[in-house]
Amino acid sequence: MADKGKGKLKLMYILQYLQIHSDENHPVSTEELAEMLLEKGISCERKSIYSDVQTLRDAGLDILRVKAPRNGYSLMQRDFELPELRLLMDAVQAAAFITPKKTEDLLEKIGTLCSEHQAAALRRQIGDFQKSKYTNEEIYYNIDTIEQAIAQGKKIRFRYCKRKLDTKNRGVKLTEKDFTVSPYALIWSDDQYYLVSNHEKYDNLMHTRIDRMKGVRMIARAARPASEVSPYPNDFDAADYAAKVFHMFSGEVEPLELRCHVSLLEEILDRFGTQITITKARSEDYFHAKTEGIVSDGLVSWLMQFSSRVEVLAPQNLRDRLKTRAGEIFGLYENDPEPEAAEKDDA
């Protein structure tokens, strides 16, 4: 009678075992399945396992019976292909804002989406990026709270931590400040995770790093409509905003016209995607690009990396900012550096 009751779980046990232990190179034999079922208190004949596997096939599962390199069954169809899982593992490993503990947890969970043999091989292939990881374990709870607040149209409060130079003690000190904001979107940019929001005292957008936020909580007050502080008349368009912002510096969206060297075509297209118009320039070595972007120090820094290979044709205020920045850099390197005066130790 006990076997009959447990028999209702038999199909699920077989499927779970195939998911964990089998793949195209590692078939599972009927003997292994029978032993596994016996450990769970279900005794059965091999013929019944054949019937159970066929039932799973009839339900749409791609289970292949193979005879080499060994006789058995392999679950062939998965929700994710191995290259897709590799991309997910690489992204988790590379993201600085994901703590070491959570990195390991996520890699383990991703590994359950394939067989244990494939998971072990993937972990060996991704290696260790050896990059600095943050240690704020609150980030995952913060993200959940922020998502709920955005969905419910509520404000949030949090304490924001920043590092500043401590000139007195010749080191770095941590400062904290409380904020109340209307949250609109979470954006991953430049390998960091940001909240785009509006501070209740101002009429613009602000960006705060999620890993620097502590004690995030949703409050009962309604969030300010994004249309009042952004160019979006309805819902905040996170994808469009991310395409226009540079290094998460705030500013105004303005039309951009650039004269670019042909060697930069791929980088320009990668950065602006389909939101750009490309036309020929007078010289075959250059092209014109028209798009939109948030004019800020972030955009200035992004353009400076290309040196003389990019010229800003418009807007004029961006040309002026680049000219000023270039002059500052020229002035810094025009003369040899003066030696720093030796500091005296306190008596």
What pLDDT digit, counting tens, does each position of 171-228 carry?
Answer: 777 889 999 999 999 998 877 889 999 998 999 999 999 989 999 999 999 999 999 9
SS3 178: strand
pLDDT band, very low/low/confident/very high, at 137 (cuts 50, 70, 90): confident
- pLDDT for residue 130: 52
Taking Cα atoms as reference points, which of 339, 342, 302 lies closest to residue 321?
A: 302
End-to-end CA distance of the chain: 88
User: Averaged over 3-15, what is the pLDDT?
Assistant: 77
What mean pLDDT value characterizes the chain? Answer: 88
DSSP strands (E only) in the chain = 63-66, 72-75, 154-166, 171-189, 192-199, 206-209, 213-222, 252-261, 277-280, 286-295, 310-314
- pLDDT for residue 173: 79
- Is residue 318 pLDDT above 90, yes or no? yes
Q: Mean pLDDT lowest for which of 7-11, 186-190, 322-326?
A: 7-11
pLDDT band, very low/low/confident/very high, at 340 (cuts 50, 70, 90): low
DSSP symbol at 235 = S
Percent of the chain at pLDDT exceeding 70: 93
SS3 286: strand
Element (H, E) at 237: none
Q: Mean pLDDT lowest for which of 149-163, 243-257, 291-305?
A: 243-257
- Report the predicted TM-score, pTM, of the whole model to 2 decimal places: 0.72
- pLDDT for residue 237: 93
pLDDT band, very low/low/confident/very high, at 347 (cuts 50, 70, 90): very low
- Is residue 322 pLDDT above 90, yes or no? yes
- pLDDT for residue 151: 96
User: Averaged over 134-159, what is the pLDDT?
Assistant: 92
